Amino acid sequence: MPVAVITGANCGVGLAIARRLLSSDCIPSFSVVLACRNTSKAAGARTLLLEEYPQATVDVVELDTSSVASVKRAAIDIRKRYQRIDMLFCNAGAMAIAGIDVGGIVRGLATQPVAFFESSQALRQARGQVTGDGLGLTFATNVFGHFLLIAQLADAMASDKSSFGNEARVVWTGSATASRQQFRRSDYQHVWGGAAYESSKFIVDQIAEPLDRRLRARGIRCVVAEPGNVCSNFLGSLTVPLLPLLVAAVFYLLRTVAGISRFTITPDCAAVACCHAALAPAVDPRIKYHSRATRLGTSYVEELPLRGCKSTGEFLLSRMDALASTLADQQIDQPTAI
């Protein structure tokens, strides 16, 4: 039975990925691992999945990708439970929202109103946030924690063929907000910049292909899938009345009237590219797999070139290799079964 590990799977796109895998006609059964920071919410998601798919195997593993110790504990736990991992969805992500950027809203609506709703220009991101390991918080959560998890699980994924006939797959959840303009080598963890989320998603795009080259010899492929503009819980930290409803209304208007297909809106539509990248007979790391939706909400996948730079990707991998080596001897407690 194929095993899929999904980070950040207690809600949103991660939970939708789990649903799509469990309902897939391609493979009769899956073992799905919900790897989440909040195990109470993950347990609730597990209950929902088992109500919908009573015969499914769904497990919960505690994982906080911003914590090196948590990543290592989760990896030990997963390796103990499963001899083989077929898919790893690097989906968990966070944006440290400090508030609404009124100036950004005015500029965006005045200059590029459609592009404004495709971006995070309305949000003011916190600066100077670091983890207990001394890493940039958004960088650690969205990128490095997953990079370390891949390294920890690579032996369990390595093989000529996975349980369902393809190579094992690592699928990163990317973003259209990935911005080269927001990336600086001197502050590649984007601790002091004002667009840490965009920088982290740019890093994902840059490391995917060189990481695929590294893993390919072991029978593991690494690709990026982009969910489009989806109404998720990213705005949950803001206490602006009716904001999520307003955002959803604008998204539906732009999709149905203007026909802008990247407004996938629902997590189910948004998850289609991630699942395609995991289940397709063959994938290309030079391609970014985009979730799209028709005016009426029918989902499909669009394949577009991944905008990667070889030197930037190699620079970033070398920095993360060094971080992983520095943190390799960190002591951790043994994981607790959930």
The reported pLDDT for the residue numbered 334 is 43
The CATH class of the 3-326 domain is alpha beta
Spatial distance between the Cα atoms of 333 and 331, rounded to a whole number of angstroms: 7
The reported pLDDT for the residue numbered 331 is 54
The reported pLDDT for the residue numbered 219 is 92
- The tens digit of pLDDT for each residue in 111-170 reads 887 777 777 777 889 999 999 999 999 999 999 999 999 999 999 998 755 566 678 999
Residue segments in the chain with a per-residue pLDDT below the cut of 50: 333-338
Spatial distance between the Cα atoms of 84 and 277, rounded to a whole number of angstroms: 19
The reported pLDDT for the residue numbered 108 is 81
Structure tokens at 163: 């349980």
Spatial distance between the Cα atoms of 183 and 188, rounded to a whole number of angstroms: 6
Q: CA-CA distances (angstroms) from residue 193 to 16, 107, 155, 198, 200?
A: 32, 19, 36, 10, 11
The reported pLDDT for the residue numbered 337 is 33
Q: Which residues contact 145 (CB under 8 A, 6 or more apart)?
A: 64, 65, 66, 67, 68, 70, 71, 92
The reported pLDDT for the residue numbered 240 is 63
The reported pLDDT for the residue numbered 26 is 62
Nearest by Cα to 178 from 221, 224, 146, 243:
224
Helix, strand or coil for residue 208? helix
The reported pLDDT for the residue numbered 335 is 39
For 172-197, letters b (16+ CB in 10 Å) and e give bbbbbbbbeebbeeeebbbbebebbb
Domain ranges of the chain: 3-326
Structure tokens at 42: 């993950």
The reported pLDDT for the residue numbered 336 is 34
Q: Which residues contact 257 (CB under 8 A, 6 or more apart)?
A: none
Structure tokens at 212: 């695929």
Spatial distance between the Cα atoms of 147 and 324, rounded to a whole number of angstroms: 9
Q: CA-CA distances (angstroms) from residue 83 to 22, 78, 156, 175, 241?
A: 20, 9, 6, 32, 48
